[in-house]
Structure 1
Amino acid sequence: MMPQRAPRPDDSFRPAPAPASPSRRRFLGGGVALGLLAAGVRPVRALQGPNVTDTAWRELEQRLAGGLLRPGDAGFADMARPANLIYADVQPAAIARCTRAEDVAAAITWCRNEGLPFVVRGGGHNYAGYSTTPGLMIDTGGMKGISYDAATGRLVAQAGVRNGDVHAALSILGRSVVHGRCATVGLAGFLLGGGIGFDMRSHGVGSDLMTSTRMVDATGQLRSLNERENGDLFWACRGGAGGNFGIHTEFELATFPVERCTAFDLIWTARAEEVAQVLIPALEKAPDGLGVKVAIVASPTDAQAPAHLTLLGQWIGERDTLMDILGPALKVAAPAKASIATLPYWDGQTMLTEFAQYESFRERSRFASASFGGRPLEIAFRLVRQFPGQHGSGNLKLFQCGGAMNKVPADRSAFVHRNSLWLIAAAAYWEEKETSARVARTQDWLDELYETLLPFCGEGAFQNFPDPRLVDAPRHYYGANLERLRRIKGRIDPDELFRYPQSIRPLAT
C-alpha cells in the first residue's frame, strides 16, 4: 500500500533566499513524456517488499540528478525520520532525492517496473505516517525553486518549497498567499489538502488560490493542470489530498497585497472556562478579517487551573478594533499572558510562527457547522482536565472557519468543507520516557474526548489531518465530492499505483 505525504513539523527552519530577480515561469503542456522513461513503462506489477537487486538500485541512481541514499549513507537517518515518531521504525529501503521533474518520473517508472511500493515526502509532516514506507521514499525536498511575476501577481513554487520559504520570498514583496504557521510544513501537502491558515476567512483556503499545477502521473508523464487543460484533474487536486493522483512538481498561486496586521497571543489560567464561554460567541460574530486558533490545553501540574485557554491569531486592522472584539472575554478575567502588536504583515507572521519538533502524537479532527459555545465547551473543559499523561500534553484546538472559505460552492473544487464555523482537532502528545501504560491511557483519553464531542460536530474531517482510526475516512474527507474523485482516479490511475490506507479508490468509468 502506498502512503501519501502530508504536513507536520519536520526539521529546523531554513528559509530559502528570496529570488534576486523575480521572473515569469512557464508551465509545460499537458501529457509531456519525460525522456525515455514513459516510453519504457510496463503494466504495473503487484507491489512487493524491498527485494531489489544492487543492479536495479544502481540503475535508479544513474537516472537521478539528485542522487540516491541507502541505509548507512550520510544523511539517510535524518532524511528518513518522520515528524511523528510513532512511525520512526518504518525505514525506507532507499531515498530518491529529486531535484527536478525528471527525477520524479524516473523514480515512479522504476518503482512501477520493479513492483516496489513507494511514498512521496515533501515536508514529512503526515499525522498518520503516510509519508513513511519500507520501499522507496521519493523525496521532493530538493525542488526549492520559487519566483514571482509582478505582471500577474502570481507565485510559482516547486514541490520542495515550505512555509518558511514562502515567508522569505513574499515578505520583501508586500504580498501573501493563504499559508500555514509551521515554517517547515511543505507547501505541496498543504495545498493539495486544501490548506488552512489565519487568512482563510478573508481569502479562502490555500487551494482556492491555486491557478495551475504540474504533476507527474502513474505513467511517468508530466501533466499541466489548470481550468482549461486537464480541468477535471485540476479540480481533484484542489483538496483531493496528496498521494492520490500523482506527484506534483510545481504550483502557481494567485497572491494578494498585505500591509499591516495585529498579531496576538493570549493565555488565560484563571476562570478559563468562563472566559471561553464568552469568547467563542464573540469570535463567531467577528468580521472576516479575524483569523484565530483557540485551544483548551491540559496543564496537569497546575492544581489550581488544570486546563488553560489560549488564543492565537491575527486581525487585519488596528489594535483598538481587536480589543473591542475581545472586550467581553477580557471583562471576565485578565489573561496571564498577553502579547498584542500591530505590525507589518510579515513581521506579524514571524510573531505567530510555529517551529518544528519531532514527537509522538495522535490527532483527530472534525468540522463543526454550529456554534461551539455552551455544552460542548463544558464537556471539552471537563475532559481536558482529566488528561492522564505525566510526560506529554493534550489539547483541543478550534480553528475558526467561515467567511470567504464558505462562500465557495462545495463542488467548485475537491475541498468540500464549505459550511463550517470551526475545525475541531483533539490532540495528544507523549515523550519517549512515558510508560506504555500511560501512553495507552493517553490514547484512550483522546478517543473519549473526540467521540464525546462528535454529536456537536458535522460529518466532515480534515484530509490534511489524516486520522488512521477514522472509519470510512474518504467519505469524511471528501463528502459529496468523493464519487467524482473516484471516477477521476479511475481514469488517471486505474491500477492504483498511488495507494495508501486511506487513499481514494478508483471507480470504473
Structure 2
Amino acid sequence: MVVTRRTVLRGLGAGALGVLGVAGAGTLAGCSDRAQPPGGPTATTGGATPATPPASTAASTRPPDWAGLRGRLAGELLLPGDRGYDAAKRCYNPLFDQRRPAAVARCQRVADVQACVAEAAATRVPIAARSGGHSYAGYSTPDAGLVVDLRGLAGVEVRADGTAVVGAGARLIDVYQALAKAGRCLPAGSCPSVGVAGLTLGGGIGVLTRKYGLTCDQLTEAEVVTADASARTVSATSEPELFWALRGGGGGNFGVVTSFTFRTAPAPDLTVFSLRFPAGSVAQVLGAWQDWCAEAPDELWTNCVITSGSPPTCRVGGCFVGSTGALAPHLDALVRAAGTTPSARFSNQLSYLNAMRYFAGCAQRSVDACHPSGEGGGQLERESFAASSSVLDQPLADPDQLVDLVTGHTDLDVLLDSLGGAVSRVGAADTAFPHRSALASVQVYAEVTDAIGPQRATSAMREVRDGLGALVGGAGYVNYIDPDLPDWATAYYGGNLDRLRRVAGSYDPDRVFAFAQGLA
C-alpha cells in the first residue's frame, strides 16, 4: 500500500497493521499535526525585549550576491537551472510546485543559517526556513525568495538526564526512533515526515497531548538565529520574551530556530484503538464523543474523524497510556452513550515506537521507508489538498448541524482531536499557544484529485470551514495555517496577539522575516 496523507487520515486497513499484530483498521491522527507554521517549520517568533536589539539594515540594501553566499556555506546553494534545484525546492503539497524560489540553501551548520539571514537582511530578499516542508499555505517555499533548508541539521541527542537536543531539521519519525532507543518519549504529532520545528513552534498537538501536554510545553531551550544574524540561546531565564513566543506563536516570524532542547518522559507502553460506526450514525456518535472525551482521564487521547458523503460516516480512534483491559470500560461507555454498535472495533497494546509507527501509517515499513519518496528508501507519497481549522471550545449543542455541513461533499474530512488534560493546566498567557481551555482542535481537510480539482476542493473546504466557524466561533490553529481565514491573527493567537506583535517588532524591526501571515 502506498502511504499518503489521505490513507493516514482515513485509517489504514488491517493488512497495513498486521506486522504489529493489530487486528483492524486504525483511526489515525493524520499528518495534520505536522503542518508547518507560516514560513516553515523552523522560522520563529521574536521576543519583546531582546538583550541586544537587532540593528537596522533597512538602508543598506543591494542585489543578492549568490556566488558570495555560496562561498560562505558548508552546504549547497542551488539556483534555478542547477541540477537538483527542482527537487530541492519541493514542499509536501504538489499544489505549490509552481513556486520558484531564487535560491535554496541546504544548511549544514548554524553558520550557514547566519550567512543566509545576513544576505536576506542586506538585500531584502524574502527568506523562509524549512525542515519538513508541510506549510499548509506553502510559505516555506517563497517565490523569488531564499529557502533555508534545515534538513542537514537533524541530529537527536538524548542526554543522561533525559533531556533531548533535537536539530530543527529532524523529522518526527527519526525523533521517535532515537528517543525510543533511549527509553524516552516526547508528545508530538503523528505524520512521520513533519519537521519537529514547525510542529513545536505552533504548539504541537498529538496523540500524547492529554497526558504530557503540547510539544511546546516540553521545550526548555532553543538556539535561534535572529534578524541581525546573531545566534542566541533562549530559555525561561535567557531572553524570556522570545522563549515565550516560540512556544505556540507559530513559525516564520522572527528568526530561524536551529535546535531545540526538550524535557522527555519515560516511554510507556500504549494501547491504540479504533471504532468504526455505520453510516447515518454520525450525529449520535459525535454527541456522545464530545461529552465522553471531556470526562476522559488524562491517559486517554481520542479523535473523531467525520468523512463526507451521503450520508457521512465516522470513526473514533486514539491512544491510551495503559493496558487494553484498563481501556475497555472507557470504550464500552462511549458505545453505550452513542447508542449504536460499531461495525468494527479493535484495541492493541504496543510499545511506544510501534504505537508511533502505527499512527504514522508505517506499521509494515522500516523507519527509512517512513520518509518521503526520494529520500533514500522513503515510500511516503505527496498529496494535494486544501485545509483549514477551527477550535471547539464547548460541545456542539446540535451535532446534526455539523453533519449537514459535510453531507453531499466528496473526499472531505473533518477531524476533531481532543485537548484538555495536561494542556488545560497551563495558562492561556503562560505560553503563546492560546487555546488552553478548548475541548478539541478541528481540521477541515479536502483532497485534490483528478476528479476534484484545486478550485473545487478549496471551495468545499471553505464552505465547511465557514459553516463550522458560524457554529463554534472563529478561532483556529496556526499549524493548519490558511491564507484565506478571516481575521487569521486573532483566530490563531487570541489574547496573545498584541504581545506577540511587540515581540516581533523588537526582534525584527526591519521585517526581514515578513510574509503574508507574519507578525512582524
- Once the 2 structures are TM-superposed, how far is the Cα of residue 371 of structure 1 from its aligned partner? 1.3
Q: Which residue in the other structure is 1:278 paired with? A: 288
Match of 2:133 among 114, 124, 134: 124
1:82-105 deviation per Cα after TM superposition (whole angstroms, max 9, x unaligned): 212222211212110101110000
| 2:434 maps to 1:371 | no
Match of 1:383 among 399, 405, 412: 405
Q: Using the alignment, how far apart are the partners of 2:452 and 2:295 within structure 1?
A: 44
Q: Which residue in the other structure is 2:301 paired with? A: 291
Question: Structure 1 226/185 Cα, relative in aligned 2: closer, same or farther at 3 Å?
Answer: same
- Once the 2 structures are TM-superposed, how far is the Cα of residue 481 of structure 1 from its aligned partner? 1.1
Q: Using the alignment, how far apart are the partners of 2:233 and 2:469 within structure 1?
A: 40
Amino acid at match of 2:193: T
Q: Which residue in the other structure is 2:266 paired with? A: 257
- Once the 2 structures are TM-superposed, how far is the Cα of residue 262 of structure 1 from its aligned partner? 0.6
Q: Using the alignment, how far apart are the partners of 2:349 and 2:184 within structure 1?
A: 17
Q: Using the alignment, how far apart are the partners of 1:65 and 1:307 within structure 2?
A: 53
Q: Which residue in the other structure is 1:153 paired with? A: 162
1:294-343 deviation per Cα after TM superposition (whole angstroms, max 9, x unaligned): 11012x4xxxx642212221011121232211214435444334341012
Q: Which residue in the other structure is 2:348 paired with? A: 341
**8 Å Cα contact 2:271/2:324 also seen in 1:** yes
Amino acid at match of 2:358: M
Aligned counterparts, 1:321-332, within 5 A:
321-331=326-336, 332=339
Name the SS of the counterpart of 2:446 in structure 1.
Answer: strand
Q: Using the alignment, how far apart are the partners of 1:460 and 1:47 within structure 2?
A: 38
- Once the 2 structures are TM-superposed, how far is the Cα of residue 452 of structure 1 from its aligned partner? 1.9
Name the SS of the counterpart of 1:44 in structure 2.
Answer: coil
1:365-391 deviation per Cα after TM superposition (whole angstroms, max 9, x unaligned): 11111113x51x21222222210x4xx
1:54-87 deviation per Cα after TM superposition (whole angstroms, max 9, x unaligned): xx22111111101111233333222211212222
**8 Å Cα contact 2:126/2:514 also seen in 1:** no
Question: Structure 1 254/114 Cα, relative in aligned 2: closer, same or farther at 3 Å?
Answer: same
Moved more, 344-353 or 137-146: 344-353
Moved more, 135-144 or 64-73: 64-73
- Once the 2 structures are TM-superposed, how far is the Cα of residue 435 of structure 1 from its aligned partner? 5.6
Match of 2:179 among 170, 182, 185: 170
Match of 2:89 among 80, 87, 96: 80
**8 Å Cα contact 1:414/1:485 also seen in 2:** yes
Q: Using the alignment, how far apart are the partners of 2:291 and 2:245 within structure 1?
A: 35
Q: Using the alignment, how far apart are the partners of 1:5 and 1:47 within structure 2?
A: 24
Match of 1:310 among 307, 315, 332: 315
Q: Using the alignment, how far apart are the partners of 1:4 and 1:260 within structure 2?
A: 36
Q: Which residue in the other structure is 1:243 paired with? A: 252
Question: Structure 1 278/73 Cα, relative in aligned 2: closer, same or farther at 3 Å?
Answer: same
- Once the 2 structures are TM-superposed, how far is the Cα of residue 482 of structure 1 from its aligned partner? 1.2
**8 Å Cα contact 1:161/1:187 also seen in 2:** yes
Aligned residue pairs: how many?
456
Match of 2:360 among 340, 344, 353: 353
Q: Using the alignment, how far apart are the partners of 1:465 and 1:97 within structure 2?
A: 25
| 2:148 maps to 1:138 | yes
Q: Using the alignment, how far apart are the partners of 1:142 and 1:228 within structure 2?
A: 29
| 2:414 maps to 1:396 | yes
Aligned counterparts, 1:403-418, within 5 A:
403-418=421-436
Amino acid at match of 1:364: S
Question: Structure 1 45/266 Cα, relative in aligned 2: closer, same or farther at 3 Å?
Answer: farther
Aligned counterparts, 1:354-503, within 5 A:
354=361, 356-372=380-396, 374-375=397-398, 377-387=399-409, 389=410, 393-431=411-449, 433-434=450-451, 436=453, 439-503=454-518
Q: Using the alignment, how far apart are the partners of 1:130 and 1:209 within structure 2?
A: 26
Name the SS of the counterpart of 1:443 in structure 2.
Answer: helix
TM-score, normalization: structure 2? 0.83
Q: Percent identity?
A: 32
1:4-26 deviation per Cα after TM superposition (whole angstroms, max 9, x unaligned): 1049xxxxxxxxxxxxxxxxxxx
Name the SS of the counterpart of 1:171 in structure 2.
Answer: helix
| 2:223 maps to 1:214 | yes
Q: Higher relative contact order at CA 8 Å, sep ≥6: structure 1 or structure 2?
A: 2
| 2:282 maps to 1:268 | no
| 2:208 maps to 1:199 | yes
Q: Structure 1: where are the runs of 5+ without partners?
A: 8-29
Match of 1:107 among 104, 116, 130: 116
Q: Using the alignment, how far apart are the partners of 1:363 and 1:46 within structure 2?
A: 39
Q: Using the alignment, how far apart are the partners of 1:117 and 1:45 within structure 2?
A: 16
**8 Å Cα contact 2:247/2:432 also seen in 1:** yes
Amino acid at match of 2:345: A
Q: Using the alignment, how far apart are the partners of 1:357 and 1:470 within structure 2?
A: 27
Q: Which residue in the other structure is 2:8 paired with? A: none
- Once the 2 structures are TM-superposed, how far is the Cα of residue 31 of structure 1 from its aligned partner? 7.7
Amino acid at match of 2:129: V
Amino acid at match of 1:448: E
**8 Å Cα contact 2:402/2:468 also seen in 1:** yes
Amino acid at match of 1:83: Y
**8 Å Cα contact 2:51/2:239 also seen in 1:** no
Q: Using the alignment, how far apart are the partners of 1:3 and 1:264 within structure 2?
A: 33
